[in-house]
Amino acid sequence: MSQGVGGFGGLKPLEIIGDGEQALAAPVGEPVEAVDAGRTGAKVVIVGSGPAGLTAAIYAARANLEPIVLGGYESGGQLMITSEVENFPGFPEGIQGPELMGRMRAQAERFGALIVDIDVERVDLSERPFRLWAGGVEYEAQTVIVASGASALWLELESETRLRGRGVSACATCDGFFFRDRKVIVVGGGDTALEEALFLTRYASEVVIVHRRDQFRGSRIMQERALAHPKVRVLWNSRVVEVLGENQVSGVRLRDTATGEERDEPADGLFVAIGHRPNTGVFRDWLALDDKGYLSVHEETRTRIDGVFVAGDVHDARYRQAITAAGDGCRAAIDAERWLAEHGLAEPATMSAW
Ligand SMILES: Cc1cc2nc3c(=O)[nH]c(=O)nc-3n(C[C@H](O)[C@H](O)[C@H](O)COP(=O)(O)OP(=O)(O)OC[C@H]3O[C@@H](n4cnc5c(N)ncnc54)[C@H](O)[C@@H]3O)c2cc1C
């Protein structure tokens, strides 16, 4: 909360590292680390190093399963592009997103997790051990925990990227609190955008929804609620073509989609609510997807393939929070450990391991 609107703090993504500096500053994308360590096979291979993947790694490592985390090039996940996280329990003063992820990583490594910051390019889940390929190295896994997260969709404007974390956000639940008595703009026209807009009315003095069409795509009930709210105003047929502001958002430049006319709308914050894309790519041929394109959970954290578990935003279109992803990672690791024990592949963990 110290610098500028919303405590976004004028931080560039990935700039602040904090206590986890060593881990986060380590060279990334070196599959050779795993090869050198003689570890390209594991009882548990975790795909993704966001809150879900790293929490799964902490639990699996403490249960002596020596997990390998294929953490992706975007090591640390979505919280690496935010600054202040104020709703993760245990940090009453808040914590910077990259610092929180650095701490989770250090905690997983302390118990023996091997983390390789590289994307999985291909998997073969047809038989056990399952096989995963990343950076030219083949990994074998008795169980796999898929924690590959989701990516918020952005407008893809240079000014938007520059001002991310400086008034530009993709998460009202996370950042709405910073906009008390401020004017914010929400971009989008589906249920997510309407929900975000209504949520923001709790804090903001005014919420302007910018939508490129002349009607919403969201459900009727959400439309009625949004349109009837005294703090909500809608700008139809409008597209954001630039986010204004040097170090902090001061407004947006809008283009009328019918006439092409441009004008500036002042605002303190911009919430981009045009959807999320779950990172299901390499698993799509193997695991079922729901109607929104997220991975389907068969039972608890199990998928339809025995021995493959799922955690976090890659299956969760509803909550999308660090704490729910972390909770899921814990559940998936416990389920994987029990599965291994049931199949005689691991000693049953004592409760103290958890
Ligand atoms: C701007 C912003 C601010 C936010 N602020 C907050 C907040 O204040 N509080 C809060 O609780 N939540 C916040 N969130 C939401 C929170 O970040 C997510 O809910 C959470 O990170 C989800 O965790 P995850 O582990 O499921 O996935 P992610 O964090 O998305 O991590 C996914 C991981 O999978 C990896 N990956 C993807 N594909 C592959 C592949 N093929 N191979 C290997 N690895 C792969 C990625 O590199 C990444 O490491 C915010 C989100 C955004 C975008």
- CATH number of the domain that 228 lies in? 3.50.50.60
Pocket test residue of 11, 55, 79 for ligand 1, highest count of atoms within 8 A of CB: 79
Given a cut of 80, is residue 27 above it in pLDDT?
no
Counting the structural domains of the chain, the total is 2
Any residues with Cβ below 6 Å from ligand 1, and which?
47-53, 70-79, 81-82, 85, 87-88, 119-120, 147-150, 152, 169-171, 174, 279, 282, 312-313, 320-323, 325
Q: How confident is the model at residue 349 (pLDDT cuts 50, 70, 90)?
A: low
Mean pLDDT of 261-270: 98
Q: Are 282 and 255 contained in the same domain? A: no
What b-and-e string marks burial along 184-217, b requiring 16 or more CB atoms within 10 Å of the CB? bbbbbbbbbbbbbbbbbbebbebbbbbbbeeebe
Q: Are 218 and 298 contained in the same domain? A: no
Q: How confident is the model at residue 5 (pLDDT cuts 50, 70, 90)?
A: very low
For 210-256, the pLDDT digits (tens) are 999 999 987 899 999 999 999 999 999 999 999 999 999 999 999 99
Looking at 33-167, which runs of residues are DSSP E strands? Answer: 41-47, 68-70, 84-85, 95-96, 114-116, 122-124, 130-134, 137-146, 150-152
Which range is least confidently modeled, 12-21, 145-154, 233-242?
Answer: 12-21
Q: Are 225 and 194 a contacting pair, CB within 8 Å?
A: yes
Q: Are 164 and 21 contained in the same domain? A: no
Q: Are 225 and 145 contained in the same domain? A: no
Which range is least confidently modeled, 15-24, 60-69, 185-194, 286-295?
Answer: 15-24
Pocket test residue of 1, 58, 78 for ligand 1, highest count of atoms within 8 A of CB: 78
**Which residue's CA is the nearest one to ligand 1's atom 33?**
48
Q: Are 137 and 260 contained in the same domain? A: no
- The whole-number pLDDT of residue 347 equals 78
Q: Are 280 and 137 contained in the same domain? A: yes
| Residue positions annotated with a catalytic role | 171, 174-175
Q: Are 61 and 83 contained in the same domain? A: yes
Share of the chain above pLDDT 90, in %: 79
Q: Are 29 and 111 contained in the same domain? A: yes
Atom of ligand 1 nearest to the CA of 81: 1
Atom of ligand 1 nearest to the CA of 319: 19
Three-state DSSP at 261 gives coil
Higher pLDDT, 1 or 207: 207
User: Which of 246, 272, 298 delimits the end of a domain?
Assistant: 272
- The whole-number pLDDT of residue 353 equals 60
Residue span of the structural domain in which 208 resides: 154-272
Q: Are 250 and 296 contained in the same domain? A: no
- The whole-number pLDDT of residue 191 equals 87
- The whole-number pLDDT of residue 189 equals 95
Q: Are 66 and 53 contained in the same domain? A: yes
- The whole-number pLDDT of residue 145 equals 98
- The whole-number pLDDT of residue 13 equals 30
Mean pLDDT of 94-121: 96
Q: Are 9 and 118 contained in the same domain? A: yes
- The whole-number pLDDT of residue 12 equals 28
Given a cut of 70, is residue 14 above it in pLDDT?
no
- The whole-number pLDDT of residue 26 equals 35
Mean pLDDT score of the chain, rounded to an integer?
Answer: 88
Q: Are 68 and 79 contained in the same domain? A: yes
Given a cut of 70, is residue 175 above it in pLDDT?
yes
- The whole-number pLDDT of residue 348 equals 72
Given a cut of 50, is residue 204 above it in pLDDT?
yes
User: Which of 250, 272, 294 delimits the end of a domain?
Assistant: 272
User: Which of 223, 239, 272 delimits the end of a domain?
Assistant: 272
Q: Residue 138 has which token pair?
A: 């083949």
Given a cut of 80, is residue 326 above it in pLDDT?
yes
Mean pLDDT of 132-150: 97
- The whole-number pLDDT of residue 298 equals 87
CA distance 324 to 112: 24
